[in-house]
Homo-oligomer: A and B are copies of this chain.
Amino acid sequence: MSTKNNQISTRKENYSQWYLDIIEAADLAEYGPVKGTMVIKPYGYAIWENIQSVLNAEIKATGHKNAYFPLLIPKSFFSKEASHVDGFAKECAVVTHYRLKNNQKGEIVVDESAKLEEELIIRPTSETIINHSFSQWISSWRDLPVLINQWANVLRWEMRTRPFLRTSEFLWQEGHTAHATEKEAEIEAQKMLNVYQNFVRDFLAMSVVSGKKSESEKFAGAIYTYTLEAMMQDGKSLQLATSHQLGQNFAKAFDIQFVDKENKKQYVWQTSWGMSTRSIGGLIMTHSDDHGLVLPPKIAPIQVVVVPILKGDTNDKKILKLVKKIQSVLKLKDRLEIDDRENLSMGMKFNIWEKKGVPIRIELGAKELEQNVVVLARRDTKEKKIVDIDNLAKVVKDTLVDIQTNLLHKAEQHRLKNTKSVDNWDDFKKAIENGYFVLAHWSGDPKVEEIIKKETGATIRCLPFDAKIENGTCVYSQKPSTQRALFAKTY
Contact = CB atoms under 8 A, between A and B. Distances in A.
Contacts of A110: 75, 94, 96, 119
B171 A68 contact: yes
Interface string A97-138: 111110000011010000000011110000001001100100
A476 interface: no
A363 interface: no
B37 A65 contact: no
Given A90-B101, A94-B95, A69 B153 contact: no
A169 to B, nearest CB: 5
Nearest to A149: B42
Contacts of A95: 93-96, 122
A60 interface: yes
Contact of A75 (B96, B98, B108, B334): B108
Determine how many copies of this chain the complex contains. Answer: 2
A82 to B, nearest CB: 10
A148 B92 contact: no
A39 interface: yes
A42 B235 CA distance: 41
Q: Chain A, interface size: which category?
A: 35 or more
B133 A70 contact: no
B69 A132 contact: no
Contact of A41 (B67, B72, B73, B99): B67
Nearest to A88: B100
A258 B445 CA distance: 62
A132 B49 contact: no
A199 to B, nearest CB: 20
Interface in A291-326: none
A77 interface: yes
Interface stretch (A5-13, A27-35, A238-246, A456-464): A27-35
A322 to B, nearest CB: 25
A155 B71 contact: yes
Nearest to A156: B98
Given A72-B169, A120-B93, A133 B66 contact: no
A36 to B, nearest CB: 9
Interface string A39-78: 1111011101100000000001000011111111111111
Contacts of A119: 110
A295 to B, nearest CB: 17
A130 B66 CA distance: 28
A98 B92 contact: yes
Contacts of A72: 34, 37, 93, 155, 168-169
A70 B148 contact: no
Interface of A: 3, 30, 32-34, 37-42, 44-46, 48-49, 60, 65-79, 85, 89-101, 107-108, 110, 119-122, 129, 132-133, 136, 142, 148, 152-153, 155, 157, 168-169, 171, 334, 343
6 contacts: A33-B77, A33-B129, A34-B70, A68-B171, A89-B108, A95-B95
